Structure 1
Amino acid sequence: MRIAVVGGGIGGLCLAHGLRGAGVDVAVYERDLSRTDRLQGYRVHINPDGAAALRECLPEENWQRFEQSAGTGGNGFGFLTEQLTPLLVLDPEAERHYSASRITLRQVLLDGLDVRFGKRFERYEQGDAITLHFEDGTTAECDVLVGADGIRSRVREQYLPHAGTEEVGVTAVAGKLFLDDHDWIPRGLVDRANTIVPTSRCGMFLASHDGLGHTDADGVLFDNTRPYLMWAYAANDLDVSEGLQQSVLRRIKQWSPDLQRIVRSTHPDTVSQWRIRSSKPIERWESTNVTLLGDAIHAMTPMRGIGANVALRDAQLLARKLTESGVDGISDYEAEMYDYGFAAVRDSLRAARQFAEGSPFSRTLFRTVLRTASAVPALKRAMF
């Protein structure tokens, strides 16, 4: 059984390791020209489910490198007013969470795999085998095709043309404030992740990330990350015509001076705009020897921070099913993935709308619920 994975992101590479470890013939085709093309992006939160998938699929040496390179995460979570008054603070979970550099995690996942770079997928043809066509004019054959090529998946576009994503009407502006230059930031914003819950129709999220130096398998330093505080402001009516930072500052001019200073002090090169998208709901399809994982099939908003972890769960499950049952395992994989994947899509979409919409009354009510839960430990346990 020859398996082709189109897309060398987190989910596709984790799947390839899981299959390779089971002795399955797997090839990864990646549009980037080299393994160092994608040296950018925010750090990614790996929860216990995502970590379990990596632990199962990766060779021991790769897993050890991941653990050594990842910072700690899950140090509690706070809900705060726009004046930084605590509404509810959740304690850290017992299970370990990781804060991983996307750059380093990808390098760890690439080690030990024969990835064919510079292969921009164009289309496939079904016959006795599946023939893949690439933009450079080359072809390849496989028995199973896995589309792991992200939110604009070309595999999905051909296989499930009615699927895809749509804008949800929420615009976000995000930036990085490097912590080694700013020691005035309140400790509560650095020690845990926080969501700002104002009474107006918007929201803000902040999370700090460790600074770590990362080396490749040969010990060469390639990613020397400075510690930073990531912030993201989102609203469904955000007008950024006057500039990203200025637009956010105008909207938060009555908020805590510290929050205003965080936005104002952020270097403009780190600030970007996101138009939030989410997968369209679709009916369950009939399984074939083509399948999809991660954002290629169930892209979700970033508001719950679980997209990468759901992709890793896909990789873990699909590796198991293909190893156990071959092509027949795809149906079992898709049945499970469809349920939990699109449930995550719905949950993250609901979170995005709660984050950026809602009437002043509903937001005031939510703040009251949070304060009540904070004061009643039994209620806090039941809710969270």
Structure 2
Amino acid sequence: MRSVRRSARDWMPLGWLIFLAYPVAGFVLQPRGPGEAALFWGVLLAFVVLYVAAQWRRGGDDTVWALGGYAGSLVAFLLMVPLVGAAACSFLVYGSFMAGHQPSRAWALTLTGFSTLLLLGLMVWQRHLWAGYSWSWAVPAGWALTSGYMLFGAFGAHLGWQAREARRELRLAQVENERLAADAERERIARDLHDLLGHTLSVIVLKSELASRLTERDPARAAVEIREVERISREALSEVRAAVRGYRGGGLAAELARARVALDAAGVRLTVLGTVPVLPPATEASAAMLLREAVTNVVRHARAGAVQVSLVSIPGGHTLTIQDDGVGGHAPEGTGLNSMRERLRAAGGTLERDGRQGTRLVAHFPTGAGDELPALAPGRVVL
């Protein structure tokens, strides 16, 4: 479920641009000359470009972008005040919002405090811009309300920045855990193969060389050695097959245990409905593989708070359902789910995905198809 769309969280900053309606209305409702129109629309367009670039950028130093966005908003405010008067205060609010998108809360609040003092000084210095308002209550109330919006915007933006950084660090930790798990698994497999085959292959080589030397001098003894090589080889093959079965993860119960650890680390609650029925080995391996892929997607993309898993026996097979309460949607599926769907289709099963309320995966494993499922492709285990 590799998402290529933007979530509601990504689009939200664009929604705040609606408040530019105040300076726009303040400008268009009065007769303007060509020079004023060029200045107004030029400054407005430059500000919108800066704002969108600061919100949707990928990479770069957060502090530099925050300070640049704040400075741009301040310039826009100073240029707009002579044109639209009090309506230009919207740019100060945007500036405080952008100032909050960086590591230092102190910097964000300091810049916001400077904006409030700048606004107060401008009100006193350029009193004629507020000539239509009452200085007994309207102007002070407007200053207090605008200052409150600026403080709220700076503080809220900083909390959003912290949440974004926490999600980023969680993703990095997840990737690092997967890398460490893969390294540990490779080391374990290397040790197991050495223990299983190191001595056995040495014996096979020695006995094969002995049989080769005895072929002409003692054919009967050579035949005995060759049969011994065959016996040892078959035993080694059985041991390797047993080890491979162990590498496949211990079945669905073991995968559920790994899923619980991974989801707990991501702050997601896992609920398993009912008990896990006995499945054919290949069907159980496929169900475990689908669960692994679904959990990986939940941790990386879903932004979910809870996941429910159920596996029930129905006439004609078994149905595995995995439901999360995350962002859902209908973004293109990744390679893992596509491969899983093809494997199930080849065996007469189905895999359905519904993204209307979170993400819901429903897989049907037909009865008797367990031994017909294609061999499992290697996949990553989330630890």
Task: Normalising by structure 1, report the TM-score.
Answer: 0.20
**More strand per residue:** 1
Q: Which has the larger radius of gyration?
A: 2
Task: Normalising by structure 2, report the TM-score.
Answer: 0.20
Q: Which has the higher contact order (CA 8 A, sep 6+)?
A: 1
